[in-house]
Amino acid sequence: MCFLLNIKLNLMKSISIAILLMSAITLTNCSSSSMMGDSSKSVMVGGAEMMPSKNIVENAMNSSEHTTLVAAVKAAGLVETLQGAGPFTVFAPTNAAFNLLPSGSVDLLVKPYNKMTLTKILTSHVVAGRMSGADLSKMVKDGNGTATLTTLSGHKLMLSRQGDAVLVKDENGGTAVVTTANVYQSNGVIHVIDHVLIPS
């Protein structure tokens, strides 16, 4: 009887330890997901669900807030690039962001003879690699308050933080705020911003 009782007690102890370990693992994973953003979950942008299984262009085309950006990407001939394997981190200006540019600027930029300028502006919003909001914040922290990214155009973006918000500054000093972070794509991640970034 004593032998059986000891076996039962040891078994119950082992089960209790296993449950505690599983709980600890679950809490750790939850904390990690909260910081990094869940790359398997969709995010609503511009009234549409951004699906992680779709690429950057496919998702952007479904956002009512990014019709100007999509039109510009098409005019610059960058659709194939942004549908590629990447991965890319894209700072995506909304229609409202483009509306802050001087009147007539967008109509002028999408003209065929301005394709080179438009391409430079758009690729100045794209960085190689998949960088989450947590990655950007860590870079800023590690850089004592600032961090620099090199875009596909070769131009620089300067990152900083203001409270909980990540700020992105272009080479001319223009600053955009990341309004929606961690919109994951099959070939990268989009961070929605409220201003267009202009390279020098």
At 82-121, the pLDDT tens digits run 988 889 999 999 999 999 999 999 999 999 999 999 999 9
Look at residue 45 in the predicted model and tell me its pLDDT: 80
The structural domains of the chain, with segments of one domain joined by +, span 1-36, 39-193
Query: Looking at domain 39-193, what is its CATH homologous superfamily?
Result: FAS1 domain (2.30.180.10)
Q: Is the pLDDT assigned to residue 193 strictly greater than 70?
A: yes
Biggest alpha carbon distance in the chain? Answer: 92
At 27-51, the pLDDT tens digits run 334 333 333 455 667 776 866 777 7
At 125-170, the pLDDT tens digits run 999 999 999 999 999 999 999 999 999 999 999 999 999 899 999 9
Name the one residue in this structure whose structure tokens are 């004592």: 144
What pTM value is reported for the model?
0.78
Long-range contacts of 54-61 (CB under 8 A, 24+ apart): 54/185, 54/186, 55/82, 55/83, 55/185, 55/186, 55/187, 56/82, 56/83, 56/86, 56/88, 56/90, 56/185, 56/187, 56/188, 56/190, 57/82, 57/83, 58/83, 59/183, 59/185, 59/190, 60/92, 60/190
Please confirm whether the linkage preceding 87 is cis (ω < 30° from 0): yes
